[in-house]
Structure 1
Amino acid sequence: MNPTTQHQLMLKIVAGSAWADGHLEPQELAYLGSLLRRYGLEHDTELRELIQEPIPMEQTERWMADYLAQASETERMQLLGAIGNLMIADDTVSPEEHTLLDDYYTLMAGIPARPEAAPNLVKGVGQFFRRMAKAVGGR
């Protein structure tokens, strides 16, 4: 995967994670904007549209499975860091958000060096996102 495509997919996942509770806080929107600028994607129409309308969780799950199937451990940690930064953008990390980050790390750590050998990758990603939506939506 070329770096631009990787960054686009990572930003889609982070945007989808931001929409997990059904809305974007101003701090989350600002953080997403900073990611777009950091990766030189602030003019990417598709990415800009993703921060305007809620993203279905199923779509974010598909993006996550695609990303994790191709990402190196370093790239996975970058994604984890971006989602973590999104969660702390409002200066508050709830116990649920902390648990979700731990669960996400565990999910990524369980992916073998060759993700195509992990038939349960999509199922694990789906379970993670359902837990995340439940925890974030229940704030």
Structure 2
Amino acid sequence: MPKTTKTKQLLKILIGAAWIDGTIQAEEREHLKNMAQENNLANDPEIKSLLSEIKQVKPAECYNWLEDYLGENPSKEDYQDLIEAISALIYSDNEVAIEESKLLTRLQLLDPENEPPKSAFDKAIKKIQKLYRQAVDSQN
């Protein structure tokens, strides 16, 4: 996957993480806008729309983006990039909300170092669960 696509995915996750407690704090907003500028994504239509804060990102959408970013077998590098970026955002306002803490806990469960190799059956079940969650989320 191209680096710009990966960076855009990461920025979307961070925007979702900023919304996870229901509001984007001023420090988080500044952090996100700086990241968009630094990565030449400030004028990307999707990023611009998300940064406008017109529509709140739902936690389920953030978690879906998170799973898409990491994929089935995340590399240690992708995982580290993600945890560092989310941690920097969450701690940018010197306050960790309960929802943000839950996000970090869930992210730690996805650490590739903690997972034993999965069988084809496990992977199929995980895909079915993901499709089911997406269907349920789209009904809400």
TM-score normalised by L of structure 2: 0.71
Matched, 1:4 2:7: no
Cα distance in 1 for partners of 2:117, 2:81 equals: 17
**Change in CA separation of 1:38 and 1:123 when aligned onto 2, cut-off 3 Å:** farther
1:79-101 Cα deviation digits (max 9, x unpaired): 11111011111123468755753
Residue 35 (structure 1) aligns with = 35
Matched, 1:87 2:90: yes
**Matched residue count:** 125
Does structure 2 retain, via aligned residues, the 8 Å contact 1:87–1:93?
yes
Give ranges in structure 1 of 5+ residues lacking alignment.
125-139
**Change in CA separation of 1:2 and 1:122 when aligned onto 2, cut-off 3 Å:** farther
Cα distance in 1 for partners of 2:80, 2:8 equals: 16
Alignment of structure 1 residues 1-139 onto 2, 5 Å: 1-51=1-51, 52=53, 53-69=55-71, 71-93=74-96, 97=100, 100-109=103-112, 110-111=114-115, 118=123, 119-120=125-126
**Structure with max Cα Rg:** 2
1:28-84 Cα deviation digits (max 9, x unpaired): 100111211222211112112112121122222221111111642111111111110
TM-score normalised by L of structure 1: 0.72
CA RMSD of aligned residues (A): 3.1
Q: Give SS of 2:95's match.
A: coil
Percent identity of paired positions between Structure 1 and Structure 2? 28
The structure richer in helix per residue is 1
Matching residue's letter, 2:108 = Y
